[in-house]
Homo-oligomer: A and B are copies of this chain.
Amino acid sequence: MNFEFNDEQIFVRDVARSFLAANCPPEVVRRVLEGNEHYAADLWQQIVAQGWAATAIPEKYGGLGMSYLELVLVAEELGRVCAPVPFASSVYLATEAILLAGSEAQKEHWLPKFAEGEVIGTLAYAEKAGRTTAASLETKVENGKITGRKTTVVDAEIAQLIVVAAKSDKGDGASLYLVSLDQDGVSYESVKTIDPSMNHANIIFNGASAELLGADGEGWGLLEKILDRAAVLYAWEQLGGSETCLAMAKDHAMERYAFGRPIGSFQAIKHKLARMYVKNTLARSNAYYGAWALNTNAPELPLAAATARVGSSQAYYYSSKESIQTHGGMGFTWEVDCQFYYRRAKVLAVTIGSERVWSDKLITASDLVG
Contact = CB atoms under 8 A, between A and B. Distances in A.
A267 interface: yes
Contacts of A267: 266-268, 271
Nearest to A267: B267
Contacts of A268: 267, 271
A267 B271 CA distance: 10
Count identical subunits in the complex.
2
A271 B272 CA distance: 12
Interface in A56-85: none
Contacts of A266: 267
Contacts of A271: 267-268
Interface residues of A, number: 4
Interface string A218-252: 00000000000000000000000000000000000
Interface string A262-277: 0000111001000000
Interface in A25-69: none
Nearest to A269: B267
A267 B268 CA distance: 6
A261 B124 CA distance: 59
Q: Which 3 A-B pairs have the closest CB atoms?
A: A267-B267, A267-B268, A266-B267
A266 B266 CA distance: 9
A75 to B, nearest CB: 36
A266 B267 CA distance: 7
A322 to B, nearest CB: 14
A189 B266 CA distance: 54
A316 to B, nearest CB: 24
A140 to B, nearest CB: 37
Nearest to A271: B268
Nearest to A266: B267
A268 B271 CA distance: 8
A268 B269 CA distance: 10
A212 B279 CA distance: 57
A241 to B, nearest CB: 27
Interface in A89-144: none
A267 B258 CA distance: 15
A57 to B, nearest CB: 48
A196 B266 CA distance: 42
A262 to B, nearest CB: 14
A267 B272 CA distance: 12
A72 to B, nearest CB: 36
A271 B266 CA distance: 12
A107 B271 CA distance: 58
A271 B267 CA distance: 10
A9 B271 CA distance: 44
A259 to B, nearest CB: 12
A259 B268 CA distance: 18
A50 to B, nearest CB: 46
5 contacts: A266-B267, A267-B267, A267-B268, A267-B271, A268-B271
A2 B271 CA distance: 42
Nearest to A268: B267
A48 to B, nearest CB: 49
A162 to B, nearest CB: 40
